[in-house]
Structure 1
């Protein structure tokens, strides 16, 4: 199997600032691997909240994570400011595959900046009550499409 190469910063039109916390470090002195999933989840949901297409308290439609993955290239640690890039790789009728990458803030603006970790989330959008898949609402789809084309 060929090891993936880190994605470049330029391939992400949206970056979410994410400060590391003291509790993020593990006994080896770097951000623990499971913490990257929290960074991914936070970046996606913060973006959707900021665009007004996610109502976490009362929305009829919610996104459930059904698949995740992450590849690590270089460590990050506290105290560090990270940027989490979010893009849409695949947009289906009721699901979306987000690709996410973590960049060090001090490297994020460089032309040759690459991810220290990268991964994906697949969300299936479901009815809040029945938990059955539903079509992605039009306003959410518009945001996801703009993210997919890099126009966000």
Structure 2
């Protein structure tokens, strides 16, 4: 892990179980940039025209509802991971099958 950042917006406490969201923001040759958020199980405020199932079903990168997540989230953050060859401690390319899967998550939703 190269960087890890978290911003607190609102409290969540036991016994609440927040809903976690993960987005792939960027896929490099040896690195992946993630965006993360935690949402209360029953948001105090639903986005206009949003169905609570949206948080379970997810959105593809670029979906307009993603812009509302920062106002609804309890916590937002980001993380950058770099794949390293354990023998040399040097960055190494992502395994191709893993990279393809990340790129599928990153693509824009079909219209």
SS of the residue corresponding to residue 81 of structure 1 reads coil
For 2:27 and 2:84, the matched residues in 1 are separated by: 15
Cα 1:90–1:106, aligned 2, differ >3 Å: closer, same or farther? Answer: same
Which whole-Å CA distance do the structure 1 matches of 2:97 and 2:7 have between them?
A: 31
* Structure 1, unpaired ranges of 5+: 1-64
The residue aligned with 2:8 is: 72
Deviation at 1:150, TM superposition (A): 6.0
Cα deviations by residue, 1:63-119 (Å, 9 ceiling, x for unpaired):
xx11011111101111111111100111111001100011112229x4356111100
User: Is residue 87–residue 148 contact of structure 1 (8 Å, CA) maintained in 2?
Assistant: yes
Instruction: Report Cα offsets for 1:43-79 as digits up to 9, x if no partner.
Output: xxxxxxxxxxxxxxxxxxxxxx110111111011111
Bigger relative CO (Cα 8 Å, ≥ 6 apart): 2
The CA RMSD over aligned residues, in Å, is 2.0
Equivalence for 1:83: 19
Pick one of 93, 96, 100 that aligns with 1:142. 100
**Would you say the 8 A contact 1:125–1:133 is kept in 2?**
yes
